[in-house]
Amino acid sequence: MSLWGIEMNEVHQNLLHIEIKMIDETIYDMAEPDRLLLVYCIAGRIVVNEQKTYLSGEFTILERGEEYVLQGDSQNIGVLINMDYYALCCHKNRDSLFFFCDSMQESGVKYRELQTSLEAVLKALALHGKDSLTFMSECLLMQKVLLDNFVIDNGEGDMPGMTRYMRVQRILDYIYLRSTEKISLKNLSDKLYVSPSTLSRTFMEMTGESFVSYVKKVRLLKVRNELIKTDKAITNIAIDNGFSNASAMSSAFRETFDMLPSEFRKLYRNNEEEKKEQKILSNRLKQFYDVPDVQNEPASKSQMHISFSEEHFQKKWENKILNVGAAKFLNNARVQRDILYLQKNLGIEYIRIWNICSEDVIIWNRELRKFSFVWLDSLLDFCVANHIKLFIDLGQRAEVIWDDESKPLYKKFDSLEFESPEEWEHFLTMMIRHMLKKYGSAVVSEWIFEFGFFLNEKPYYITPAYKSTQVWDRGVDIIRREIPGAKVAGPGMYVLNDREFLNQIIGSYMKCRHQPDILTCISFPYNNPNGEDALTSFHEPFRKLSNNPVEFQKNLQILREVLQENNFQGELVLTEWNFSMSNRNYLQDSEFRSSVTAEMIMRGYDLCDSMALWIATDQIGIAYDTEKVLNGSAGILSVDGLRKPVYFVYTFLRQMGKYRLLKRDNILVTADSRNEYYILLWNNKRLSARYYITEGENYGPKDLDSLFSDEEPFEAEILINGLKDNDRFKIKNQILNKEKGNVLKYWNAMDCYNELSFEEIEYLKQISVPEITLEEQIIHRGCLRLSLELQPNEVRLVTISRVIG
């Protein structure tokens, strides 16, 4: 329930009632008190109130209750976005909210985040239409960004600098929210501690109308909104909004709007002029965003003809890098067990760790300037003995377990604190020399040393003149002096749709004495970081952004282009990426994570030299609630070593052939020869609005179906040509979906029981595997034909091999 007794689902429906109007001429109007209006210039220029000119990418919020003039023309593209102000208030449980949003007066992270969200709304409108779940999801996200970043007052009590306009609006909001009750000038004057006559005079000065007239106007605004949004009977609308009967409401409505309520409802729903305007806006947006008028037929509606050609040689997927987490976890026997299992079955070459400079790994006596590396040796011994190379992020970050994006279950920071550059350099030198002495240069020179800056919560060392680029040069000096053959990586930057930010960061490192051998980057769908300096932390609370692999691919492409523009010659490695940072999100355990991972890899792998696996095991997310068999942690393996669906995606990728024959949005076809073909398919479903507005604690393992935008299957017909008639081919399907190969499904069938015995855990391990089907097909007319249907969030590997003999 909300503050006003309105069910939250009704609030969410009102939040979805967003109107977008194109500004292609001069518009004179009044910002109604119940609407929040945002002007966004997509391209060209828009003039607001004949005073302010907004250029491409700029925007502002108009003051409620004020007249406005917007000037645009057919050469420009601008929109007026109209939102339900009181639904926003209700969502925040406040009587009033005051927004300040003007990109001409301010800039920074929150403005970049809102612009990104506005673009997502308009692209969704162009591509999917205003009735699509995608558009609705993006609208909710955009309003969440507004509420998180642009509210300047919480609506309770006076605040310093409160303007007369704000005080007036609070009074008007009070009236609006109680207009259906028996509200009187006397009631309001008692609340404000003034006489009725004084308030009456002041009210006339403030609004230009009497108190009674304003209450009537507000009631009619509510009536108008209900006629538009609902199918409620007109009599019920009248009673619900303070009128004695339908006749009284109809009379007042006709006096104000020059038509009866029934006529207004019919006109609104059959407004051909408005439909024409919406079509023009949609076409302008499609043209601007390069979206075809007729959406491309999905692969499921067309045949895919494939023939073998060795000229399509591809870089085969390799599971080279596995994220483990804080270095101390390598001394945990169960973590070691999981790493060895993943190394054997996924072909891991490097394990990536951080927080090596912590009290759990290094013993330090500051006064004597001495270090003991006994605990460090223990974890390094494990790696060297098992022929695992190390990818060491030397950054110092907090150890955090996130319940939801804004609520840490556990947070600890135990890194060593160096009080000067010299103290830090002495430590780094002593540690590197110890590694070389114990393991030899042949081993240590194969390791990668990373100086990451964007996830750190503390600097590498303390100094007033601290700069990340200076840390970089000092650190690389030591690595290259002590281990000339080792690769140096950094800075662990965000992948963003922001060329200016990317150029600023990359340019700063290209001007350093040393350039990275490997440029590292990270990608999670949350609020953009503060880009004022390269040393930037991912501070809570996080804010979810749209989780769209297409945007992920586009952002990686922009990063690639910026690297080329800056003449970067090294490798690009995506070290940390996932659809969520939460450690308590049951989607991590589900078939959805497998499908979204497959799509993100297919969209990102050509743009990166490597994409590190996130993350080895749920062992690193242990807290008081980890007695559960599954708890939504980000591991590939559960605490008990159960393989999650995402694990099998990596096994599928390892089996793919070395020649690429076809790649589309939902399919990759490869081959090793004319006798062996491998087809990977996925049907990743987009998350719905509910996911973005619901905290993880409010849905459990049995509630995940409600978080997706649709449940449509994906159909594909594949024809492999150029084969020899009468040859026989074996067709093997490995199927991973909600019902097959999904440990979460089998745990649900056990009623999510937590206290499972060793025997029961082993049973889960055995049954939680993809289903395998086999069939044989004889070639006719040189063609092999496959008709496939994938369920929502299914990933499937089809292996086709010629039968010899």
- List the structure tokens of 698: 């409010």
Are the beta carbons of 238 and 223 closer than 8 angstroms? yes
Proportion of the chain above pLDDT 70, given as a percent:
89
Name every residue whose Cβ is closer than 8 Å to that of residue 245 and which is 6 or more positions away in sequence: 235, 238, 239
In the block, which residue shows the tokens 């804080």?
Answer: 326
For the stretch 561-597, pLDDT in tens is 999 999 999 999 999 999 888 888 999 999 999 999 9
Give the pLDDT confidence score for residue 548 in this predicted structure. 77
Binned at pLDDT 50, 70 and 90, residue 437 comes out as very high
- List the structure tokens of 600: 């993100």
Average of per-residue pLDDT across 257-265: 85
Binned at pLDDT 50, 70 and 90, residue 6 comes out as very low
Nearest to 527 by CA among 708, 692, 393: 692
* Identity at 778, one-letter amino acid code: I
Proportion of the chain above pLDDT 90, given as a percent:
45
Average of per-residue pLDDT across 533-544: 41
Average of per-residue pLDDT across 150-179: 66
Rg of the chain's alpha carbons, rounded to an integer?
Answer: 30
Q: Of residues 159 and 250, which shows the higher confidence score?
A: 250
For 581, the 3-state DSSP assignment is coil
Q: Which range, of 278-282, 400-404, 783-787, averages the lowest pLDDT?
A: 400-404
For 511, the 3-state DSSP assignment is coil
For the stretch 619-636, pLDDT in tens is 998 877 778 899 899 999
Binned at pLDDT 50, 70 and 90, residue 172 comes out as confident
753 vs 767: CA distance, rounded Å? 17
Are the beta carbons of 770 and 740 closer than 8 angstroms? yes
Nearest to 98 by CA among 188, 179, 170, 3: 170
For 661, the 3-state DSSP assignment is strand
Give the pLDDT confidence score for residue 321 in this predicted structure. 97
For the stretch 682-732, pLDDT in tens is 999 988 767 776 666 667 888 898 888 788 899 999 999 889 999 999 999
Nearest to 591 by CA among 644, 640, 653: 644
Q: Which range, of 55-64, 105-114, 684-693, 736-745, averages the lowest pLDDT?
A: 684-693
Alpha helices (H) in 543-686, listed in sequence order: 549-565, 591-604, 645-654
For the stretch 270-306, pLDDT in tens is 666 666 777 888 888 887 776 654 444 443 345 677 8
Are the beta carbons of 488 and 516 closer than 8 angstroms? yes
Binned at pLDDT 50, 70 and 90, residue 3 comes out as very low
Examine the pLDDT at 558 and tell me if it is beyond 50: yes
Q: Of residues 270 and 766, which shows the higher confidence score?
A: 766
Q: Which range, of 170-179, 306-315, 338-347, averages the lowest pLDDT?
A: 306-315
Distance of CA 804 to the CA centre of its chain: 48
- The phi, psi pair for 203, rounded to 5°, reads -65, -40
- The phi, psi pair for 176, rounded to 5°, reads -60, -45
586 vs 695: CA distance, rounded Å? 12
Give the pLDDT confidence score for residue 214 in this predicted structure. 81
657 vs 270: CA distance, rounded Å? 56
Examine the pLDDT at 229 and tell me if it is beyond 80: no
C-alpha torsion sign, points 122, 123, 129, 135: negative
Decide: residue 761, CB within 10 A, 0-12 exposed, 13-18 middle, 19+ buried. middle
Q: Which range, of 44-48, 420-424, 547-551, averages the lowest pLDDT?
A: 547-551
Are the beta carbons of 2 and 11 closer than 8 angstroms? yes
- The phi, psi pair for 441, rounded to 5°, reads -65, -30
For 48, the 3-state DSSP assignment is strand
Q: Which range, of 6-20, 293-307, 486-500, averages the lowest pLDDT?
A: 293-307
- The phi, psi pair for 656, rounded to 5°, reads -65, 155
494 vs 324: CA distance, rounded Å? 20
Average pLDDT of the residues of the chain: 85
Nearest to 728 by CA among 780, 655, 679: 780
659 vs 673: CA distance, rounded Å? 8
- List the structure tokens of 260: 């009866």
Q: Of residues 212 and 577, which shows the higher confidence score?
A: 577
Examine residue 541 and say whether the peptide bond preceding it is cis (omega within 30 degrees of 0). Answer: yes
For 318, the 3-state DSSP assignment is coil
Q: What is the pairing mode between strands 659-664 and 27-30?
A: unpaired
- List the structure tokens of 192: 């404000």
Binned at pLDDT 50, 70 and 90, residue 434 comes out as very high
- List the structure tokens of 582: 């939460």
C-alpha torsion sign, points 540, 546, 548, 554: negative
Dihedral Cα 547, 549, 552, 557, nearest 10 deg: -160
Order of strands, edge to edge, in the sheet holding 714-721? 303-306, 714-721, 783-790
Binned at pLDDT 50, 70 and 90, residue 680 comes out as very high
Q: Which range, of 342-351, 533-542, 558-567, 714-723, averages the lowest pLDDT?
A: 533-542
- List the structure tokens of 753: 């029981």
Give the pLDDT confidence score for residue 519 in this predicted structure. 97
Are the beta carbons of 446 and 397 closer than 8 angstroms? no
Average of per-residue pLDDT across 111-128: 87
Model-level pTM? 0.69
Give the pLDDT confidence score for residue 1 in this predicted structure. 31
Give the pLDDT confidence score for residue 404 in this predicted structure. 66
788 vs 14: CA distance, rounded Å? 40
Average of per-residue pLDDT across 237-244: 84
Q: How many residues does the chain have?
A: 805
Give the pLDDT confidence score for residue 245 in this predicted structure. 87
Average of per-residue pLDDT across 175-201: 77
